[in-house]
Chains A and B, each alone.
Chain A
Amino acid sequence: MAKKLPLKSLFITLGLAVCVNSYSKSRLDSIQKLPEVVVKAQSYKEVIPAQKLNGKQLEALNSHSVADAVRYFSGIQIKDYGGVGGIKTVDIRSMGTNHMGVFYDGIQLGNAQNGQIDLGKFSLDNIEEISLYNGQKSDIFQPAKDFGSAGTLYLKTRRPSFHNGKTYNLKTIFRTGSFGLVNPSFLYEQKLSSTINLSLNTEYINANGKYKFRYKKVFSDGTLAWDTTATRQNGDIESLRLEATIFGRLNTGQWNLKFYYYDSEKGIPGAIVNNVWKNSQRQWDRNFFTQGSFQKQFGDSYELLINAKYARDYMRYLNPDTTLMYIDNKFWQDEIYISAANKYSIQKNWDVNLSLDYQWNTLDATLTNFASPTRNTLLIALATSLRWNRVKALASVLGTFVSDKSIASSGTGSVSKISKRQNELTPALFLSYQPSNNLPLNIRAFYKRIFRMPTFNDLYYTDIGNADLNPEFVDQYNVGLLYSDYFDGFVSRILLKSDVYYNYVKDKIIAVPKGTGQYRWMMMNIGIGKIRGIDVNIQSDFRVFRKAKFSLNLNYTYQKAQDYSDPTDNEPEAGTYKGQIAYIPWHSGSVVASANWKCFDLNYSFIYVGERYHNSSNIRANYEQPWYTHDISGCYRFKFSKMQVSATLEVNNLLNQYYDVIMNYPMPGRNYKLILKFEI
């Protein structure tokens, strides 16, 4: 078991946190900075506000991808397989990665194939704001899909705004550093008319993904047993992203139309095991989508929001290693999505909303006996929100009607069509109460029941899929408080948030072995998980002296995530029954400190993930070490004729800790990045 050596980490944390100055960013600033196109619906405040990262705060985090940034939210565990191109998925409050809905500019990113969104794929380059909601965004005016996940992450791209009579903006960013990274990006924004703006954004990433990693073991007396350092291979990536968006403003509304294209080839670095220090699997992805949104208020009390999307995804997986099973599989997915949300204000403080969504998904693959499934989903959400004195309430009910069609194959050719239906009704209730008008304190609570549909892989993947699967249900209970106040003195702002929660996951879809034959798996609804947790978030801003600001953001999460799947596996300690679920640390948290003085920014961040086990049998052989990284960055901004220039140097994993997030997937040690930004 881990020795308790608290002080070392504490003082490293504190020491660095305190000696660094920082610029601060109050809530008011962020409101003032809201872009020109203001979304009207946001004037109604959410019952439970999101955890948010935006603007400078986001820039301060030394993050390469959205996944890196999301680590700073409480209640989040990231599964990171390491490197620039490595897969990174997010688990919210230990319910499993499939329960997280990810929305890109208001419309959900789908992956009907495996239900997982690789957040490593989304660069922060043009992301203006990331918001995380437990349960759902507690705002009723949204598509039915927004009611349909246990946790939701919203990625908002930058919207054009033009100052001082300018009609265009030009921004070029160049990033380089460790891992052979070459990462230019280019943003051009043009004012087309007084109500229409255009934004073009492209980004190219090339990295060889090579980095040193080290594994070592010692004897119990501390002397070295073995120590080996090697270079991570096959972690290269080359990707190109193109995005074009037209933003339009209406009298009492707005619209936008977006085109997105992503193309990448990457190596899959794989697990480092005895005698295997290099893998050769490759993956290609091509994602295209186009989506549009139209929002308008009619009269005083009716508002309409229409969203539509078409997406096509291509994925190829190649195992060219002839000593292993040769695999060259290609997958194609199509998605069509349309949605209409209708909000009606019955009274000034009482709104109702009816949303109707329809989605169509298909998956095709070059696999033998592939089921080629098609899924039709109809979602109907009815929601109401009420403000009464210092009480805010929101109640919603979501009806999900899914029907699948697929081809069932029985080995040598006999084929039959099967169809599968699933209809579910799931409620949610959100409450917030401010005990006194004079006290900036809110008490909030929510309950939500939701499920995730088995993915196409769960149901239909040749040989592994199990068409008899049921949805995986989650009940979430949450009680918390929010205290937020502004001051005139040294401390300019304090925000304290804390939530206590209980999640009950039932019919969890788990891969179980089939027997007779090696490593043949199938999916079954056998998992039960009970998760009890506490999130604490403290944000504070300080005015050190004139023009010098400092801010400190602390996050802490405690989770007791227990596996209740198999009551018969109850041997003391070694049994999985009531064992801590794989890869969920009891303790995790982060510290972010930023200082700002004139043209200088300094940022420091610290992430801590406590001891874990890679299996819910919490025995010594399954123990995984805690890991923590210290990242720092400094930025200098200056003007060069008409150009605004900034230069940032990042040092990540400053203390060069060699660690695994996932067993046998080594993470990089100390690494560097240089970022140059030019804006006109």
Chain B
Amino acid sequence: MKKIILAIFTLSVIISCRHDDEIFIPESLSVSTPEFTSIKGFYLLNEGNMGSNKSTLDYYNCTTGIYTRNIYGNANPNVPKEMGDVGNDLAIYGNRLYAIINCSNKVEVMDVATTKRIGQIEIPNCRYIKFHKGYAYVTSYAGPVEINPDYQQIGYVAKVDTTTLEIVDRCLVGFQPDGIEIVEDKIYVANSGGYMVPNYENTVSVIDINTFEETNRIGVAVNLHYVLADRHGCLWISSRGDYYETPSRLYCYDVRKKRLVAALDVPVSDMCIQGDSIYIVSAGWSHISSSYSITYAIVDVNLKEKITDNFITDGTESKIKMPYSVAVNPITKDIYITDAKNYVNPGTLYCFDRDGVLKWNVRTGDIPAHFAFVGEQSISN
């Protein structure tokens, strides 16, 4: 018996007790040298895997070269269960930061300077956000709740007054709307139909911003994802494809000519437009070839052609497992690429200079994905 007690005693010395969960203290580390431009830094939204409630915000301060991980909890220590489950988009409008938290069914609204919570907008299954004249427009997969056996989940765009954070109107669009863009008083929404497999959507909905009603649809390709406008009045629309015969592709729609003007054989996981260049990363799995194909492409919006298949020039691409997101600093033209790895491990953020040479890299949260640059114009991506 004595031996048993002794054994328990010894054991209890090496095992530990439960203690109260503490607010996460953000981890800061110096990753680069300070840079002084009108861009002060950027927020990076980590999506976190579904059900993990691990959507987190990181911040990179360009003026100090310090990267800070997981800042939301500490900035908002009184918010139960922190920021939420699966971040899906991030944007800055005025002096506010908007984070779309998909599985928490809300848009989290924060102060850009302090990351302190201002409020939230309840939008179930919200996806992407764009702003126009004091209003935020948010796409949502969630249709109206009704009892109907043949119910079909038509998505909508919510119009939100950014002063009151109230939803003032809704406009039904196609099935599972994703990317949203606003050009010349028209809202363009990429319908995916992702819940309708294999009957994907293949249209972009056009909404008149003044009447807030859908006026027409533009046929593009199956399973649309992003729609981004360049500075020449063209929309760049990405299609995810059907993951079988139809590959992911990129399309160009001219809003004045009102027709598709280009279809590029460029697969897209994520893209951003900077100047006249579209930076594209993609990691696509093909059921047919049973393999990944990874590209880091640049498309020139004037030539409407791909000008490179790999803008990384120093071989760093061999370290990146799952390129998930891309952003470009509007001033320095530094290129940021995130690696989501296997979606459950912490990701990595890589910073390349404009020539595609690695400057620095840092560990992020889980599934690093969405950038918002903080600066005079507060440009978001």
The verdict on A273 contacting B8 (CB below 8 Å), with A219-B22, A326-B151, A615-B345 known, is: no
Contact (Cβ within 8 A) A323 B365: no
Q: Which residues of B contact A610 (CB under 8 A)?
A: 15-16
Stretch of A95-103, A222-230, A432-440 on the interface side? A222-230
- The answer, yes or no, to whether B78 is at the interface (CB within 8 Å) is yes
* In the assembled complex, B84 has its CB within 8 A of some CB on chain A: yes
Residues in A neighbouring B183, C-beta threshold 8 A: none
State whether A226 touches B78 (Cβ < 8 A): yes
Give the shortest distance, in Å, between A9 (CB) and chain B (any CB): 5
* A617 in contact (CB, < 8 A): yes
A411 to B267 Cα, complex, angstroms: 18
Instruction: Write the chain A residue with the least CB distance to B294.
Output: A515
Residue A154 at the chain B interface, CB threshold 8 Å = no
* Cβ B18 vs Cβ A626 within 8 A: yes
Evaluate contact between B19 and A412: CB separation under 8 angstroms.
no
A97 to nearest B CB, angstroms? 17
Query: Please, which residue of chain A has its CB at the minimum distance from the CB of B292?
Result: A515
The reply to whether B197 and A322 form a contact with Cβ atoms under 8 Å apart is no
Interface assignment of B179: CB less than 8 Å from any CB of chain A: no
Residues of B within 8 A of A5 (CB): 16-17, 19
- Per-residue interface assignment for chain A, residues 596 to 625, with 1 indicating a CB less than 8 Å from any chain B CB and 0 otherwise: 000000000000101100111101110001
| Interface check A192, CB cutoff 8 A | no
Binds B, one of A40-48, A136-144, A345-353, A566-574: A566-574
| Interface mask (A263-287 → B, CB under 8 Å = 1, otherwise 0) | 0000000111111100000000000
CB-defined contacts of B101 to chain A, threshold 8 Å: 274-275
- Are B23 and A219 in touch, CB under 8 angstroms? yes
* CB-contact partner of B20 in A216, A520, A536, A621, under 8 A: A216
8 Å CB contacts to B: which residues of A644-660?
657, 659
Q: Are A6 and B4 touching (Cβ within 8 A)?
A: no
A543-576 interface bits toward B, Cβ cutoff 8 Å, 1 = contact, 0 = none? 0000000001010100000000000110100101
Known pairs A4-B13, A225-B77; A369 contacts B23 (CB<8 A)? no
**A322 partner, pick from B27, B73, B105, B145, beta carbons under 8 A:** B145
Which A residues are CB-close (under 8 A) to B9?
10
The smallest beta-carbon distance between A81 and chain B, in angstroms, is 11
A275-B104, A491-B1, A554-B8 given as contacts; is B19 within 8 A of A2 (CB)? yes
B315 within 8 A of A: no
Task: Please determine whether B245 and A226 come into contact, CB atoms closer than 8 angstroms.
Answer: no
| Residue interface mask A448-473, B partner, CB < 8 A = 1 | 00000000000000010010100000
A519 pairs with B18, CB closer than 8 A: no
| Distance from B10 Cβ to chain A, minimum over Cβ atoms (Å) | 10
Q: A219–B363 contact, CB under 8 A? A: no
- What's the minimum C-beta distance from B319 to chain A, rounded to whole angstroms? 7
Known pairs A271-B51, A410-B244, A554-B4; A323 contacts B125 (CB<8 A): yes
Closest to A271 in B: B51
Taking a contact as CB atoms under 8 Å apart, the answer to whether A515 and B269 are in contact is yes
Within 8 A of A (CB), among B47-92: 49-54, 56, 69-70, 73, 77-85
Residue interface mask A321-351, B partner, CB < 8 A = 1: 0111110000000000000000000000000
- Per the 8 Å Cβ criterion, residues 21-78 of A in contact with B are none
| A215-B81, A323-B124, A611-B16 as given contacts; A411 in contact with B151, CB under 8 Å | no
Give which listed residue, B13, B54, B240, contacts A516 with CB less than 8 A.
B240
A516 and B282 contact, Cβ closer than 8 Å, known pairs A3-B19, A323-B142, A410-B244: yes
CA distance A649 to B363 in the complex (A): 52
Are A621 and B145 in contact, with the CB atoms below 8 A? Answer: no
CB of B167 closer than 8 Å to a CB of A:
no
Contact B4 A540 (CB under 8 A): yes
CB-based contact A621/B12 at 8 Å: no
Do B12 and A9 touch (CB < 8 A)? yes
**A14 contacts chain B at the CB level, 8 A cutoff:** yes
Spot the interface stretch: B31-39, B204-212, B335-343: B335-343
A410 touches B245 (CB 8 A): yes
- Of chain B, the residue at the smallest CB distance from A623 is B21
Shortest distance between the CB of B161 and any CB in chain A (Å): 21
Does B11 make an interface contact (CB < 8 A)? yes
Q: Does A680 have its Cβ within 8 Å of any Cβ on chain B?
A: no
B78 touching A225, Cβ below 8 Å: yes
Q: Is the CB of B103 within 8 A of A659?
A: no
**Contact A369 B198, beta carbon cutoff 8 Å:** yes
Quick one: which of A499-518 are within 8 Å of B by CB?
A: 510, 512-518
Chain B residues within an 8 Å CB radius of A273: 51-53, 81, 84-85, 103-104
User: Is A481 an interface residue when CB atoms closer than 8 A count as contact?
Assistant: no
Closest to B146 in A: A322
Of B53, B283, B365, most A-chain CB atoms within 10 Å: B53
Q: Contact: A2 with B80, CB < 8 Å?
A: no
**Using Cβ atoms and an 8 Å threshold, which residues of chain B touch A659?**
18
Q: Is B106 an interface residue (CB 8 A)?
A: yes
Query: Assuming A2-B17, A517-B243, A569-B345, is B105 touching A323 (CB within 8 A)?
Result: yes
**Chain B residue nearest to A217 in the complex (CB):** B21
Q: A274-B101, A516-B285 are in contact. Are A587 and B14 (CB under 8 A)?
A: yes
Q: What range describes how many residues of A lie at the interface?
A: 35 or more
Distance in angstroms between the alpha carbons of A3 and B341 in the assembled complex = 32
B355 to chain A, nearest CB (A): 25
Please tell me if A196 contacts chain B, counting CB pairs below 8 Å.
no
Q: A274-B101, A322-B142, A412-B244 are in contact. Are A515 and B322 (CB under 8 A)?
A: yes
B340 contacts A274, CB within 8 Å?
A: no
A533 to B159, CA, bound (A): 58
Q: Does A641 contact B (CB under 8 A)?
A: no
| B141 CB contacts on chain A under 8 angstroms | 323-325
Q: Which of B143, B145, B285 is in CB contact (< 8 Å) with A514?
A: B285
B287 at the interface (CB under 8 A from A): yes
* Alpha-carbon separation in the docked complex, A628 to B11 (Å): 15
User: Smallest distance from the beta carbon of A351 to chain B beta carbons, Å?
Assistant: 38
Contact (Cβ within 8 A) A217 B22: yes
Whole-angstrom distance between the alpha carbons of A521 and B85 in the complex?
18
Name the residue on A nearest B126 (C-beta): A323
User: Is B368 interfacial (CB 8 A cutoff)?
Assistant: no
A626-B16 contact in complex given A225-B77, A368-B198, A410-B288, C-beta closer than 8 Å: yes
A-contacting residues, B131-147, CB 8 Å: 141-143, 145-146
Say whether A19 faces chain B, with CB atoms less than 8 Å apart: no
Partner of B18 from A410, A571, A617, A627 at Cβ < 8 Å: A627
Measured CB to CB, the nearest residue on chain A to B46 is A621
- Give min CB distance, B99 to chain A, whole Å: 11
Chain B residues with Cβ below 8 Å from A10 are: 8-9, 12
Chain B residues 260 to 289 lying within 8 A of chain A, measured CB to CB, are: 267-269, 282-285, 287-288
Given A568-B319, A621-B365; A412-B242 close (CB under 8 Å): yes
User: Which residue on A lies nearest to B140, using beta carbons?
Assistant: A323
Contact of B215 with A by CB under 8 A: no
Q: Contacts A411-B244, A514-B285 given; indicate if A271 touches B85 (C-beta within 8 A).
A: yes
**A8 interfacial by beta-carbon distance below 8 Å:** yes
Cβ of B360 < 8 Å from any Cβ of A?
no
A182 contacts the other chain (Cβ, under 8 Å)?
Answer: no
The answer to whether A272 touches B5 (Cβ under 8 A) is no
Partner of B52, one of A8, A324, A619, A663: A663
Interface presence of B153 (CB below 8 A): yes
Q: Is the CB of A276 within 8 A of B85?
A: yes
What is the chain B residue whose CB lies nearest that of A616?
Answer: B345
Shortest Cβ distance from A514 into B: residue: B285
Asked if residues B15 and A608 are in contact (CB atoms below 8 Å), the reply is yes
Can you report 28 residue pairs joining A to B where beta carbons are below 8 Å apart?
Answer: A3-B16, A4-B14, A5-B16, A6-B12, A9-B15, A217-B20, A273-B53, A322-B146, A323-B141, A324-B141, A368-B197, A369-B198, A410-B244, A411-B198, A514-B284, A515-B283, A516-B267, A517-B225, A520-B285, A521-B343, A538-B4, A554-B8, A608-B15, A615-B344, A621-B70, A626-B15, A628-B18, A659-B18
Inter-chain pairs besides A326-B151, A411-B245, 5 sampled, C-beta below 8 Å = A5-B16, A274-B85, A276-B104, A621-B69, A626-B15
Ordered nearest first, which 7 A-B pairs have the shortest CB separation?
A411-B244, A515-B283, A274-B84, A323-B142, A323-B124, A273-B85, A2-B16
